[in-house]
């Protein structure tokens, strides 16, 4: 049984999809959840009410903006003197076809890298400093199968950001394990969320499912359950590891 009683978990991008599943799973295990959202206030409020305001507090920040990560962390420390786990889940897709004008391509690339890599890295930096003064802590970075096998031709920034996030996770794990600061990455493949279906046709979905040996996408709840487990102290020596959830569509 997963027991997170007395723990505080900050989840970014927590209003829906995988983030919401992580929030539900950690709260069900007894954690207090600091639930970050950017624009989906109504969805975040519904989830807070579902979990219970005593166990879930909302924090708003647009991680596409410079210094938003620092503002979010300040909000979190104000809400909870001790944060035990940071879950960097917030992420975006933004196509960057090579046929696009260079200025448009650069804007798209920079936007994705800001949300998917720079903001999480800044939060990791702040978390490590916080954990050092509290006897340790954990970071769980939600990466992607694309970090290992790449992505579609117009998704260079998404694949690059997720690959870098995995490398960042390994570096944190190696650098701070002696201080009881642990870091894990989770790399889902296609997952049953609204984000997964953006721009997809029925033919696209059939093709995707045909490439997954299990024959179905993972559920967001499956990812949430794994993250909740990583928030415990049961797998400390797996710090630095990346956990794949892709139905054997990519096996390393």
At 37, is the secondary structure helix, strand, or coil? strand
Residue 120: per-residue pLDDT: 98
- Rounded CA separation 111/94 (Å): 8
* Both structure tokens of 197: 């279906």
Residue 41: per-residue pLDDT: 94
Residue 204: per-residue pLDDT: 82
Q: Are the C-beta atoms of residues 71 and 126 closer than 8 Å to each other?
A: no
What 8-state DSSP symbol labels residue 35? E
The residue extents of the domains of the chain are: 8-245
Identify which of 190, 105, 112 has the alpha carbon closest to the alpha carbon of residue 146: 190
**Within a 13 Å sphere around the CA of 192, how many CA atoms are in the beta-carbon half?**
12
Bridge-partner residues for 8, per DSSP? 32
Q: Are the C-beta atoms of residues 156 and 109 closer than 8 Å to each other?
A: yes
Residues near 114 by Cβ (< 8 Å), separated by ≥ 6? 63, 64, 66
CB atoms within 10 A of CB 192: 17
pTM of the shown model: 0.94
How would you classify residue 200: left for phi > 0, otherwise alpha for psi between -120 and 50, otherwise beta?
A: beta
Q: Tens-of-pLDDT digits for all 252 residues of the chain? A: 899 999 999 999 999 999 999 999 999 999 999 999 999 999 999 999 999 999 999 999 999 999 999 999 999 999 999 999 999 999 998 989 999 999 999 999 999 999 999 999 999 999 999 999 999 999 999 999 999 999 988 899 999 999 999 999 999 999 999 999 999 999 999 888 876 666 678 888 888 888 899 998 899 999 999 999 999 999 999 999 999 999 999 999
Buried b (16+ CB within 10 A) or exposed e, 218-241: bebbbbbbbbbbbbbeeeeeebbb
- Rounded CA separation 99/81 (Å): 49
- Rounded CA separation 21/10 (Å): 13
Q: Are the C-beta atoms of residues 241 and 182 closer than 8 Å to each other?
A: no
Task: State which CATH number among 3.40.50.720, 3.10.20.30, 1.10.390.10, 2.40.340.10 fits the domain covering 8-245.
Answer: 3.40.50.720
Residue 208: per-residue pLDDT: 86
- Mind telling me the catalytic residues? 158
Q: Which string of DSSP letters, residue by residue, matches 81-131?
A: S---EEEE---------TTS-HHHHHHHHHHHHIIIIIHHHHHHHHHHHHH
At 152, is the secondary structure helix, strand, or coil? coil
Residue 53: per-residue pLDDT: 96
Residue 6: per-residue pLDDT: 96
């Amino acid at each position: 049984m997963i027991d997170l009683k007395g723990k505080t978990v900050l989840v970014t991008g927590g209003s829906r999809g995988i983030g919401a599943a992580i929030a539900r799973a950690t709260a069900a295990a007894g954690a207090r959840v600091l639930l970050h959202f950017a624009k989906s206030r109504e969805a975040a409020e519904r989830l807070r009410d579902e979990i219970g305001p005593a166990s879930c507090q909302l924090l708003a920040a647009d991680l596409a903006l410079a210094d938003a990560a620092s503002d979010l962390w300040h909000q979190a420390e104000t809400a909870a003197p001790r944060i035990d786990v940071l879950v960097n889940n917030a992420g975006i897709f933004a196509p960057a076809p090579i046929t696009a004008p260079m200025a448009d391509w650069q804007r798209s690339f920079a936007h994705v890298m800001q949300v998917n890599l720079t903001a999480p890295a800044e939060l990791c930096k702040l978390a490590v400093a916080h954990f050092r003064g509290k006897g340790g802590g954990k970071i769980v970075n939600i990466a992607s199968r694309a970090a290992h096998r790449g992505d579609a031709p117009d998704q260079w920034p998404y694949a690059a950001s997720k690959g870098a996030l995995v490398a960042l996770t390994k570096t944190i794990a190696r650098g701070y394990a002696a201080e009881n600061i642990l870091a894990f990455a989770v790399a889902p493949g296609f997952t049953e969320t609204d984000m997964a279906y953006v721009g997809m046709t029925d033919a696209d979905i059939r093709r995707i499912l045909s490439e997954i040996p299990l024959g179905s996408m993972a559920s967001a709840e499956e990812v949430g359950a794994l993250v909740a487990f990583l928030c415990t102290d049961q797998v400390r020596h797996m710090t630095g590891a990346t956990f794949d959830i892709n139905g054997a569509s990519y096996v390393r």
